[in-house]
Amino acid sequence: MNFKNLKSAGDLSGKKVIIRLDVNVPIVNGNIRDDFRLRKALPTLEHLKSAGAKTLIIGHIESSETDSLQAIFDYFNSKLPVKFATDLTQAADLMAGLKTGEFVLLENLRRFKGEKENSQSFAKEIAGLGEIYINEAFSVSHRPHASIVGLPKLLPSFAGLVFEAEFSNLSKAFNPPKPFLLILGGAKVETKLPLIKKLLPKADTVFVGGVPANDFFKAKGFEVGASAVSQIKLDANLLAETKIMLPLDVVIDGGGGKCTIAPEELGKKDEILDAGLETVAELNFLASKSKFVLWNGPLGNYERGFVEGTENLARALAECGAETIVGGGDTLAALEKLNLFDKFSFVSTAGGAMLDFLSSGTLPGIEALENSLEV
């Protein structure tokens, strides 16, 4: 780890701290549907409060319902002494009058044009409100935005408690205990292929489910019917790889209701929507023989209600006895629903950033911390 962590930040009493959080949580009818990322950030915020820092919280939200952090403010305001700033001028005024242990939450960064453009002038405006910077948004650190890569050039910078835990736990996949089982699902094929190629030499078995499995089936000459597929052409060596496991049975909907069949039995009107019980049973067996399991992405179309494969797998992995690391939005939704968070060794807050980090070994946000202005 070539960046400084929060514990090395020294005495924070009276210091003006800028902390980048991932507060991009689902909002439904004005309410937060899933507060996992916010809960994970609370220990870091409590640490800053106890240390007597004067803290500016910055973050973004992308929601079809709202572009405001009002619901995030309401959440934090029920737990911490926090004020809400709708713009940078108000943020500066509130920070000037802030007492030790108090917070200001700045309105959605995506309302400011300079954020996604990584504008140097915008980064300077924010940096002028603080003395040190903390990145506690690992799950956004694959984005080269001003709040991720611009601020570390201007302020002494540190990784937060969650950021450090993400880095340390996900890095275990680069030198994993053996046997190592990698389970990949979801819908975005282009994000999974680099990871398959990166970790295939280290894994004993790579299970490919979800939409990526459909691409493998199609490339192998199977009928995929109305199933979702991508336009990516798979490498012949990858198709011949014996370490790669595809679903042994699939749940389909051909218009006449759900049923489970073997992949080679698919008809032209059928649509693969989940993995079947035989597949989950085999994954359960492999997990029971493994020492390390890494899982990202649901086995089926979770948003359309095809949840059985994913939830059955979650239950199995929770009891497998291996070190288990899991991430991805719909995957976490299953764990939340089943109340299984504490049954896994580590639950990542990241989705795309988790995949990018595991594929490349770094992220723009990590490199920014490594090259940060010295204290």
pLDDT at 253: 80
pLDDT at 239: 92
What confidence tens digit (pLDDT) does each residue in 114-147 have?
Answer: 999 999 999 999 999 999 999 999 999 999 999 9
pLDDT at 231: 86
pLDDT at 257: 75
Contact 108, 131 (CB under 8 A): no
Residue 254's pLDDT band (boundaries 50, 70, 90)? low
Contact 48, 76 (CB under 8 A): no
pLDDT at 101: 97
Determine the Cα–Cα distance for residues 127 and 105; give it in Å rounded to an integer. Answer: 15
Is residue 165 over pLDDT 90? Answer: yes
Phi, psi at residue 64, to the nearest 5°? -70, -15
Mean pLDDT, rounded, for 336-355: 93
pLDDT at 374: 65
- Mean residue pLDDT of the chain comes to 94
Determine the Cα–Cα distance for residues 292 and 133; give it in Å rounded to an integer. Answer: 34
Mean pLDDT, rounded, for 7-22: 96
Which three-class secondary structure state does DSSP give residue 35? coil
Could you tell me the two tokens for 315?
């239950």
The burial class, CB within 10 Å (0-12 / 13-18 / 19+), for 159 is buried
Is residue 1 over pLDDT 80? Answer: no
Mean pLDDT, rounded, for 348-369: 95
pLDDT at 190: 86
pLDDT at 329: 76
Could you tell me the two tokens for 213?
């499995």
Would you give the distance in Å from CA 174 to the centre of its chain? 18
Is residue 298 over pLDDT 60? Answer: yes
Q: Which domains does the chain have, with CATH numbers?
A: 6-167+362-370 (3.40.50.1260), 175-344 (3.40.50.1260)
> Could you write out the DSSP letters of every residue in 97-128?
TPPTT-EEEEP-GGGSHHHHTT-HHHHHHHHT
The burial class, CB within 10 Å (0-12 / 13-18 / 19+), for 30 is exposed
The strand pair at 132-136 and 54-58 is best described as unpaired
Range with lowest mean pLDDT among 80-94, 204-218, 320-334: 320-334
Which one, of 352, 332, 339, 355, lies nearest residue 36 by Cα? 332
How many percent of the chain have pLDDT more than 70? 98
CA dihedral sign of residues 51, 152, 62, 87: positive
Determine the Cα–Cα distance for residues 69 and 77; give it in Å rounded to an integer. Answer: 12
pLDDT at 84: 98
Which three-class secondary structure state does DSSP give residue 346? strand
Could you tell me the two tokens for 370?
């490594």
354-366 in b/e form (b: 16+ CB < 10 A) is bbbbbbeeebbbb
The strand pair at 250-253 and 272-275 is best described as antiparallel
pLDDT at 373: 67
Is residue 246 over pLDDT 80? Answer: yes
The identity of residue 306, as a single letter, is F
Residue 156 DSSP class: B
CA dihedral sign of residues 231, 237, 239, 241: negative
Q: Write down the residue that tokens 């902390």 correspond to.
A: 19
Query: Ramachandran region of residue 159, left (φ > 0), alpha (ψ -120 to 50) or beta?
Result: beta
